[in-house]
Structure formats: C-alpha cells, structure tokens
C-alpha cells in the first residue's frame, strides 16, 4: 500500500464490463472507494430520472456513468502524461478518482432534487459531493492512499483552487471538454436508443494540449468538437427536454417539494441524505399517512402514485422563443418570476395555482440545456514548431465556430403543463398570458 507523497504506479485490481466503453479496469485504490456504501448508493439513482417512462431503456444509473467517466479520465491522463508538461501517473490517478466521485453527492432523481434544494436551501449537489468526500469513509480511503481529500473534493466538482498546481485538470472534469459530457452523451444515447450522441470523442481527447493552464484541443479536432456540441444540443431537444419526459419529472419535483415538511427530505445530515434514493423517496411520498388533513400532502401523494401508474401531466401550451429575445434569460432565471406566471395563468384559467406547471430550460432540474452561457469558447492549437514544443494557439468564441454559432442557444422552449381535466382551460389562459400582448407587457415591466 502506498505511503503519503510516494509516487506509485497504479496497477489494475478489478475488471468491469461496460456496454459503452468495453472493459474498464480499476486500481486497488478505486476499487476500495467503489465498494463503500456511500458510493454503491449511486446504483439506485437513475442518470435520467423519469426518462425511462418515455425511453424504456433509459434505466441506467449514476453508478455506471461515473465508472465510465473514470475510464475516460484515465485516457485523458495518459494523453497529458505524454505532453511533457510535468503530468505524471499520480496526476492521472487523481483525475480518475475525481471523475469517479464527481456525482457522489447527487440526491434522489439526480438533477430533479436540485429543484428542491434550490427552493429551500443554498446547497447544491456539488456541495454534498464535497461533504461526502470530506466526512465519510471515502475521505479516509483517499488519505490512506496518500492523497489529499480536500484537493480531490475540489477537483471532483471541477473547482480545484488556483493556488494549487495543474488547475487545467478542472476542464477535464466539468465543462465543454469534460469526460462527464463525453460519457453522458454516449451513455444516454446508447440506453435511450437514440442516435444523436454517437461522437468521435477519441479524436477530441487525443488532441488535448495545455495552454495557459487551460485545456485546449488541436485545430484538426475542431470538427469532432463541433459534432460533440451538436450532439449535446440534439440530446437536449430529443431526450433531456422531451415534452413527456419533463411532464414526469415535473411531477416528481413538485411531489418532493410538497412532501418535504412531512418527510424532511432536505435534512442534509449524511445519515439522512445517503438514505435517499429514487425508489425510497418515491415510496415514502406515495405512502404518506393520512394526507387528507393537508391538501399539499394529498397532492404530493397523488402525484407520486400517478407517476407510478404513468398518468402524467399534459402539455397545455408550448412556445418556441429566440434566445436573443431576452425572454427566458431575463425573466425566468428567477424562480419568483416563474411562480408569478404560473399564478397568473391559474387565475385566468380559474384553477388552483398548484395545478399549473411552467417549465423552461433555465430550471435547475435541467441537467444540460441549449444555453451557450455555460461554455463560451475554446482554445485551439494550430501547430507546433519543428521540435514539437512551441505552440501557436488562439481562442475561438462559440459564435465564431462554423456550425455551433448557428444553433447554440438558437431556440428555447417554454411549456405549460397541467392535468388532463384542466388542459383546455389552462391552454386558453396560457395563450392569453403568452400571446404577443401579454408577453411584451410583462417583459417590459
């Protein structure tokens, strides 16, 4: 077993057969972390929450996703080791471990729980990731193998501090060049059965360079990078923001919010948090005792049971908006504005505000959107000198990319959902609220 500050070669200890990447090997260090109860919990948290109600194959969990991310991080590490930038096998092990742990703090239903946290706390799943690494047996294992649990907790959320060396490793964990993005596009495409996520990620990774402490790609890999961004956009439209997928997920979000006071879902003690998985949470809500005395609990239980029966909300109104119209970005980034619109529609429709659900891509529960704000540009390496060391590089904005600039953020879709019985009334009310007159008067306020 390695000692602190001792450089070691990380040998293979376990073999995992993955349908996306093939055989994945784990070191003894990685296997020790994978075998912890805190990590095994990820088997019971679906990667795509309610997506399986539309795409039946989309049952995969956070567990296999992070295993895949670890594998890709290892490939990135080996490429960086070959670049003569002082990146060694211990750094590759750090990168693999950070990728393995980057989702360990997700709550039930993955990003759906972000909506509950955002409404009632200022905590994110990334905060919980750091807490779990620092305060559970995972941190003890990290320290035992000679690494800093603080450093790995930062790197796992892509926020390794600038006073530490090699902060370009953050780019490999989060962002437009991350192993997270590459794995979930390939994996989500595979399990849902859609074709959009099939991208040549090896072409991108093999071109990785480091420029001014940032990850960059070779100019020749630009087309593969564009394909990655297009796949991201297409998966957003076809899967992540699919009309019926979001109907199911909105039901889960609302049921968790309404039942929190009875079930104390946002008790962020590790004992409680680590007990919450998809099925445990859904079962608790669906079996709420005597909710008739509390309309909110009754509504939560009904939503959970309807979800189990696939009696989903109906989309009553849909509006496609040009992102440059400053509609969604300026108005709906704030939850209070979304609630005001929901209340306004409900009042016009003559229904309870709790029967109206307004959904936009800026909601915290959307795991990936068509927004270009999260990734504004990329550094391209044009060439090296004859010795292969001095690089000519330049930064290119997303708008300047030949294909991405035409679609990045091109469309946003606003939707209003309600129950089947209220569909006609809400459709009429939403059309009045979001008709040209109502839209302009509201935005100008």
pLDDT digits (tens, 9 = 90+) for 399-419: 666 666 555 544 578 899 999
Backbone angles phi and psi of 435, in degrees to 5: -65, 170
Give 81's pLDDT tier (boundaries 50, 70, 90): very high
For residue 55, the model assigns a pLDDT of 97
Percent of residues, the chain, with pLDDT higher than 90: 66
CA distance 435 to 415: 13
283, containing H or E segment: helix 278-286
CATH assignment, 8-193: 1.10.3210.10
pLDDT digits (tens, 9 = 90+) for 243-297: 999 999 999 999 999 999 899 999 999 999 999 999 999 999 999 987 678 999 9
**Helix axes 423-433 and 335-349, enclosed angle (nearest 10):** 120
3-state secondary structure of 277: coil
pLDDT digits (tens, 9 = 90+) for 354-404: 999 999 877 778 776 544 335 667 888 886 655 556 567 667 666 666 666
Contacts 24+ apart (CB under 8 A), 82-87: 83/208, 83/209, 83/210, 84/389, 85/210, 86/166, 87/166
For residue 293, the model assigns a pLDDT of 83
Backbone angles phi and psi of 209, in degrees to 5: -135, 170
Q: Domain extents for the chain?
A: 8-193, 313-371+409-445
CA distance 134 to 148: 10
């Amino acid at each position: 077993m390695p000692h602190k500050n001792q450089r070691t070669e990380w040998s293979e200890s376990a073999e995992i057969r993955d349908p996306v990447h093939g055989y994945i090997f784990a070191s003894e260090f990685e296997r020790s972390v994978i075998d912890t109860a805190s990590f095994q919990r990820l088997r019971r948290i679906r990667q795509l929450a309610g997506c399986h109600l539309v795409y039946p194959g989309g049952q995969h969990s956070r567990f296999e996703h992070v295993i895949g991310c670890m594998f890709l991080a290892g490939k990135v590490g080996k490429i960086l080791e070959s670049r003569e930038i002082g990146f060694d096998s211990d750094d590759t092990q750090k990168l693999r471990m950070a990728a393995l742990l980057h989702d360990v703090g997700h709550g039930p239903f993955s990003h759906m729980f972000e909506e509950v946290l955002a409404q009632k706390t200022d905590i994110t799943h990334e905060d919980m990731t750091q807490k779990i690494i620092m305060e559970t047996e995972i941190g003890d294992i990290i320290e035992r193998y000679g690494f800093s649990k603080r450093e790995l907790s930062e790197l796992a959320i892509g926020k390794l501090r600038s006073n530490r060396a090699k902060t370009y490793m953050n780019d490999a964990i989060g962002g437009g060049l991350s192993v997270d993005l590459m794995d979930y596009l390939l994996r989500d495409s595979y399990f849902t059965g859609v074709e959009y996520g099939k991208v040549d990620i090896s072409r991108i990774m093999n071109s990785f360079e480091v420029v001014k402490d940032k990850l960059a790609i070779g100019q020749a890999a630009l087309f593969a990078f564009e394909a990655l961004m297009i796949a991201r956009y297409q998966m957003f439209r076809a899967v992540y923001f699919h009309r019926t997928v979001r109907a199911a997920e909105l039901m889960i979000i609302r049921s968790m919010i309404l039942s929190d006071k009875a079930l104390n879902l946002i008790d962020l003690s590790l004992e409680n948090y680590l007990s919450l998985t998809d099925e445990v949470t859904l079962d608790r809500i669906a079996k709420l005792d005597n909710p008739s005395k509390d309309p909110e609990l009754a509504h939560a239980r009904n939503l959970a049971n309807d979800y189990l029966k696939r009696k989903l909300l109906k989309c009553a109104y849909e509006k496609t908006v040009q992102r440059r119209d400053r509609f969604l970005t300026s108005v709906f980034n704030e939850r209070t504005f979304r609630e005001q619109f929901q209340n306004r529609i409900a009042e016009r429709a003559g229904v309870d505000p709790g029967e109206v659900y307004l959904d936009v891509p800026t909601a915290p529960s959307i795991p990936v959107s068509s927004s270009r704000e999260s990734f504004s540009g990329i550094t391209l390496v044009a060439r090296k000198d004859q010795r292969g060391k001095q690089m000519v590089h330049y930064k290119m904005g997303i708008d300047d990319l030949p294909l991405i600039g035409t679609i990045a953020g091109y469309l946003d879709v606003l939707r209003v959902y309600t129950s089947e019985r209220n569909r006609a009334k809400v459709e009429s009310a939403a059309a009045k609220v979001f008709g040209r007159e109502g839209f302009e008067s509201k935005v100008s306020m």
